[in-house]
Amino acid sequence: MVVDQSRGEETRRLVADVPGVTYMTSGPGLSRGRNAAVAATESELVAFTDDDVSLPEDWLARLVAAFDSVPEAGAVCGRGVTGDGALLPGRAAGLYRFPTNPFGLGSGFNVAFRRAALDAAGPFDEELGAGARFQAGEDTDMLYRVMRAGWAVLCSDDVTVTHHEWRRAGEELRLHYRYGLGAGAQTARHVAEGDRAAARIARAEARMHLRWLLVNAVRLRPRAALLQLPLVTGLVIGYLRRRRQPAMRR
């Protein structure tokens, strides 16, 4: 299933003759595209990836095997490597339950869900994700809500994809700001719904990034230190902006 949110016809032409591919379009916003894909399918498992990722041939088979091995898993999060083979940051392999911190638990370029878990959690928050108001966080928000609905999240080192790095230093700073913006916005929604655990997790996340800012500054790692500042700034701004909105209904 390819959900095209671009303005031109290039993607449509690219997949037109590929066997087994269903092509559809949606309005802007990554969460909107994910919701459109979920609504257009009926399979028990739904896997997601992005357009800057290369997948191994056995990617889907490994996801299915992971779900089969842990019936209580509502989501499976795989790992990512760069084009040079370097392992990207990710959570240690294992089974995670509410109220685990969802930030860094998984990434939308290599994640899959049981449809039953998605039904329990509700649709992706269309205020979150690339192309939406709060530009990131739709994946961590869904993982958090899946856990809150009683399902576990399985992190697996056996499901690995290649994520192609293409951003320069300035773009990375803007990306980390967007990460923080999405994290703050999703936290504000949950707090407005009476979820105190979400507030505790966000405070701990902010403290961690501030600590790493100081540690990297002391260790004379300016690039690593600089990435923490826009993330924390985005977290605060995202929280305050979302708190000014009425609580979203599912």
Mean pLDDT by 10 residues, the chain (250 residues): 93 94 94 97 96 95 98 98 92 97 96 98 97 96 98 97 79 91 97 96 94 88 86 95 68
Range of the domain at 225: 169-243
Q: Is 182 exposed, middle or buried (0-12, 13-18, 19+ CB in 10 A)?
A: buried
Query: Which CATH number belongs to the domain containing residue 81 in this structure?
Result: 3.90.550.10
Asked whether residue 6 is assigned to any structural domain, the reply reads no
3-state helix, strand, coil in the chain (%, to 5): 45, 15, 40
Same domain membership, residue 159 and residue 71: yes
Asked whether residue 75 is assigned to any structural domain, the reply reads yes
Asked whether residue 19 is assigned to any structural domain, the reply reads no
Cβ contact 70:95 at 8 Å: yes
> Alpha-carbon distance 134 to 182, whole Å?
5
Map tokens 């889907």 to a residue: 60
Whole-Å CA distances, 6 to 12, 33, 153, 179: 10, 11, 31, 22
Q: Say what the pLDDT of residue 2 is.
A: 95
Q: Is 129 exposed, middle or buried (0-12, 13-18, 19+ CB in 10 A)?
A: buried
Same domain membership, residue 196 and residue 233: yes
Cβ contact 142:150 at 8 Å: no
pTM above 0.75, yes or no: yes
| 3 state SS for 96-142 | ECCCCCCCCCCCCCCEEEEHHHHHHHCCCCCCCCCCCCCCCCHHHHH
Q: Say what the pLDDT of residue 145 is.
A: 98
Q: Say what the pLDDT of residue 244 is.
A: 85
> Alpha-carbon distance 185 to 237, whole Å?
8
Q: Say what the pLDDT of residue 221 is.
A: 85
Q: Say what the pLDDT of residue 246 is.
A: 55
Q: Say what the pLDDT of residue 212 is.
A: 87
Same domain membership, residue 173 and residue 84: no
Cβ contact 137:179 at 8 Å: yes
Q: Angle formed by the axes of helices 222-243 and 196-218, to 10°?
A: 160
DSSP assignment letter at 87: B
Asked whether residue 67 is assigned to any structural domain, the reply reads yes
